[in-house]
Amino acid sequence: MGTDISTTIEIAATPERVWAVLTDFASYPAWNPVFCEASGELAVGSQLSLTTTQPRGGRTMSVKVKVVAVTPASELRWESRVLGVSSSKRSFILSPDVHGTHLTQTGSYQGLFTSFPAKTISRIRTSFDAINEAVKEQAEASS
């Protein structure tokens, strides 16, 4: 059992430009509406530290994720595990198209407590959309 959530957006910028925005962790505090901090080496097997701000209440939560795929201008994927009972996977897939780049962000949640109610799925989807919109704004502004 689990939950998969996916959102897409068209960005009028090259995949290389979108990738540059997506992987510039030092700039996240300036523009990313979900990850207020991100750090770590962008290499398969390395660990990233991500800090998110909860939309309600403004609490922050830090997580460590393992990078499982890095293909410049194409794919960034990471995963995390919670006490061996559940896992979370996030991917950002960039595909060139006639208008620039098609960005698909997907989250896959497996294990105990990952069959989320509709309200939680909606909240996650809203955060994915917010990240996609912010990446679009940053990439298009500097194209």
Residue 69: other Cβ atoms inside 10 A: 14
Model confidence pLDDT, tens digit, residues 83-114: 778 899 999 999 999 999 999 999 999 988 77
DSSP 24: -
Provide the residue range defining the domain that includes 121.
2-141
| Total domains in the fold of the chain | 1
- How buried is 31 (Cβ within 10 angstroms: 0-12 exposed, 13-18 middle, 19+ buried)? middle
Residue 117, C-beta contacts closer than 8 angstroms, at least 6 positions apart: none
Model confidence pLDDT, tens digit, residues 19-34: 999 999 999 999 999 9
User: What ranges make up the beta strands (E) of 72-116?
Assistant: 75-82, 86-97, 100-111
Model confidence pLDDT, tens digit, residues 68-79: 999 999 999 999
- How buried is 98 (Cβ within 10 angstroms: 0-12 exposed, 13-18 middle, 19+ buried)? exposed
CATH number, domain with residue 74: 3.30.530.20
Q: What is residue 47's predicted lDDT score, i.e. its pLDDT?
A: 97
pTM for this prediction? 0.91
Axis-axis angle for helices 118-141, 15-22 (nearest 10): 120
Q: How far, rounded to the nearest angstrom, does the alpha carbon of residue 49 sit from its chain's CA centroid?
A: 13
Q: What is residue 39's predicted lDDT score, i.e. its pLDDT?
A: 96
Least confident of 20-24, 44-48, 52-56, 119-123: 52-56
More confident residue, 114 or 13: 13
48 neighbors 35 (Cβ within 8 angstroms): no
Q: What is residue 112's predicted lDDT score, i.e. its pLDDT?
A: 81
